[in-house]
Structure 1
Amino acid sequence: MLDPTAPQIVVQCRTLSFSWLPADPDAVAALVPAGLRPRPDRQVFLSQYVVDDETQTSGFGAYSLTYLGVTLVGADAPGGHPGGWWTHYLASSPRVRQYAVARGAPAAPGRTSIDVRGDRLTAVTEADGRPLIRSRCQVGDTGTRIRSGLNRILTTRDGRLLSGIYPFLAEPVTPFEVESVEFLDPGHPVYALRPANPLTIDWGFYTPRASFAYPGGLSSWEPDEPAEVGRLPEEPAPAPAGGQKVPARRARSGLPSGS
Structure 2
Amino acid sequence: MLDPAAPQLVVNSRTLYFSWLPADPGAVAALVPAGLRPRPDRQVFLNQYVVDDESQTSGFGAYSLTYLGVSLSGVDAPGGISPGGWWTNYVASSPQVLDYAQARGAPALLGGTVIDVHDGTLVAETELDGVPVIRARCRVGDTGHLISSGHHRYFTRRNGRLVSSVYPYLAEPVTPFEIESVEFLEPEHPVYALRPANPLVISWGFYSPRASFAYPGGLTVHAGDAALPSERLAGLPVPAA
Alpha-carbon RMSD across the aligned residues, in angstroms, is 1.0
Paired residues, what number?
Answer: 225
Whether 1:155 and 2:149 are equivalent positions in the alignment is: no
What is the distance in 2 between the residues matched to 1:155 and 1:119? 36
2:135 aligned partner: 134
What is the distance in 2 between the residues matched to 1:142 and 1:94? 32
TM-score, normalised with respect to structure 2: 0.92
Whether 1:44 and 2:44 are equivalent positions in the alignment is: yes
Q: Is the CA contact 2:161–2:225 (under 8 Å) kept in the aligned structure 1? A: no
Whether 1:111 and 2:112 are equivalent positions in the alignment is: yes
- Please state whether the residue corresponding to 2:97 is helix, strand or coil: helix
What is the distance in 1 between the residues matched to 2:152 and 2:201? 22
2:61 aligned partner: 61
Q: Which residue identity lines up with residue 66 of structure 1 in the other structure? A: T
| Structure 1 residues 224 and 129: alpha-carbon distance in aligned structure 2, compared to 1, 3 A threshold | closer
2:78 aligned partner: 78
- Please state whether the residue corresponding to 1:150 is helix, strand or coil: strand
Q: Which residue identity lines up with residue 88 of structure 1 in the other structure? A: N
Q: Which residue identity lines up with residue 68 of structure 2 in the other structure? A: L
TM-score, normalised with respect to structure 1: 0.86
Give every structure 1 segment of 4 or more consecutive aligned residues whose post-TM-superposition deviation is greater than 4 Å: none
Whether 1:196 and 2:192 are equivalent positions in the alignment is: no
CA displacement at 1:75 relative to structure 2: 0.5
Q: What is the 5 A alignment of 1:206-245?
A: 206-223=207-224
Q: Which residue identity lines up with residue 146 of structure 1 in the other structure? A: I
Q: Is the CA contact 2:122–2:139 (under 8 Å) kept in the aligned structure 1? A: yes
What whole-Å deviation, never above 9, does each CA across 1:32-91 have from its counterpart, x for those lacking one? 001100011100000000000000000000000000010000000111121100000000
Gaps in structure 2 of 5+ consecutive residues? 227-241
CA displacement at 1:158 relative to structure 2: 1.1
CA displacement at 1:187 relative to structure 2: 1.1
1:182 aligned partner: 183
Q: Is the CA contact 2:115–2:123 (under 8 Å) kept in the aligned structure 1? A: yes
What is the distance in 1 between the residues matched to 2:130 and 2:156? 27
2:103 aligned partner: 102
- Please state whether the residue corresponding to 2:134 is helix, strand or coil: strand
What is the distance in 2 between the residues matched to 1:199 and 1:78? 29
2:237 aligned partner: none
Q: Which residue identity lines up with residue 100 of structure 1 in the other structure? A: A
Q: Which residue identity lines up with residue 11 of structure 1 in the other structure? A: V
CA displacement at 1:213 relative to structure 2: 0.2
What is the distance in 2 between the residues matched to 1:16 and 1:39? 22
Q: Which residue identity lines up with residue 179 of structure 1 in the other structure? A: E
Q: Which residue identity lines up with residue 28 of structure 1 in the other structure? A: V
What is the distance in 1 between the residues matched to 2:221 and 2:158? 10
Q: Which residue identity lines up with residue 15 of structure 2 in the other structure? A: T
